[in-house]
Structure 1
Amino acid sequence: MSQHRTAADASRERILAVATDLFAEHGYDGTTTRTIARDTGLSMATVAYHVGTKADLYREVMLRAHQAERAAVDAALAEFARTAPAEPARAAARFADRYLDFCLEQPHVPALWMRRWMADAAEFADLEERYARPLLDAVRIELAAAIPQLTADRAELAVWTVLWTTHGFCRSMIRAQVPRFRTHLRALVQRELGLDGGAW
């Protein structure tokens, strides 16, 4: 029985990995169950057996992307909270570094969200409120607590600006220019937050 479970789990994970790549590259609307089955080397019936419908699969892919992003953001926020009281500008830049590193290590996450911003998978409108909004609020609250002069509105717009800029860079033609972009991102974060970066 455990051997059967292991094989079933392996098939499910293979389907999820392939679907993640396809949804990131072509979007939900541009990906078919037939394509997922073809790329996994399984039949459509086997794919459905392991993961349900394409909608079920998409929700699972987005949940996993969110869980990975949430873990990265939570760790970066914990570090920010420890260092911001003494050096808010450096702490904010370090937070941006950590988020950029996450997006570079898991490029499917920014790709999935950018697809959604282009009106992909419109029938899943709840995902922003379930996943994106709580993360945005967590960062905004931590920023406001560490930087007293920062208004809630400015904090929120700063978070969105960093998010859009980082995701756009990770999907751009200049993606190989990480050091150059990192320097730009640090300066952008500090400017948006009204902080004096000083020397690195």
Structure 2
Amino acid sequence: MAMGGVGEGGPESDTARQRVIEKATHLFASLGYDGTPVQMIADAAGLDIDTVTDLVGGKRELYLTVMRRHYLATQAMFNTAFTEFTPDRAGVLLVVDRFLDFYTDHPEVPELWIHRWLSDAADITGLEGLYLKPLRDSVKQAFRRAAGPGADVDMTLETIIWCVRGFVVGGMVSASGEVHGPANVEYLRRFRTYLHQLVTRSLALNE
């Protein structure tokens, strides 16, 4: 039996599989796909490589599982927000707030995508089209119903994503040189206020 005593099937196997996925998520988000050897994931999960492979497949399969898992979670968040959406400023800001809150609660998601910006996992292509595009398209469709004349919905949405990812992962530098991210309530409030202003003006929304 492999280290960790995980047999095939059953609750124990399911628990071990979830542990592997969670540890891999943390490591991929922190170090990137290319910088995370399978042995490191196995060690973090308290298992050997053979057991990890039996549970989730190889490193590529594990990465794809991690990315799909977070895509589905993001999709669920937007779907919930869309049930409350109204085609006006309040509705747009509700979606923006849900997006910011989701990334604040799950910083590993923007971290995973930022690594891809830096050409991490470059041999695994197509994830942007498979996962990002459908989400963007659904948000754009909703925002276009509320946007004013001349608003560039495409660029505004990209700007929202860039800003939120940057703030959640990198934070803001204060006047004293300290970095503050969403864990700092005051800086999170300031960023949210700025984001509301940016979106309202960029989409020409009536206040």
What TM-score, normalized by structure 2, do the two folds share?
0.86
Please tell me whether the aligned partners of residues 144 and 150 of structure 1 are also in contact (alpha carbons under 8 angstroms): no
- 3-state SS in 2 of match to 1:124: coil
- 3-state SS in 1 of match to 2:154: helix
User: Which residue of 2 is the match for residue 195 of structure 1?
Assistant: 205
Aligned-residue offset at 1:31: 0.6
Q: Residues 1-200 of structure 1: matches in 2 within 5 Å? A: 4-80=9-85, 83-84=86-87, 88-147=88-147, 149=149, 154-173=152-171, 174-175=180-181, 176=184, 177-197=187-207
- 3-state SS in 2 of match to 1:122: coil
Q: What number of residue pairs does the alignment pair up? A: 189
Aligned-residue offset at 1:147: 3.0
What TM-score, normalized by structure 1, do the two folds share?
0.89
Please tell me whether the aligned partners of residues 148 and 205 of structure 2 are also in contact (alpha carbons under 8 angstroms): no
Please identify, of 3-12 and 134-143, the stretch whose mean Cα deviation from structure 2 is larger.
3-12
Counterpart of 2:37, as a letter, is T
Unaligned 5+ runs, structure 1: none
Separation in 1 of the partners of 2:76 and 2:46?
32
- 3-state SS in 2 of match to 1:171: helix
Which structure dedicates a bigger proportion of its chain to helix? 1
Residues 121-153 of structure 1, C-alpha deviation per residue, up to 9 Å, x if partnerless? 1112210000000111111111112336355xx
Separation in 2 of the partners of 1:116 and 1:185?
24
User: Which residue of 1 is the match for residue 176 of structure 2?
Assistant: none
Dislocated runs of 4+, deviation >2 Å: 145-151
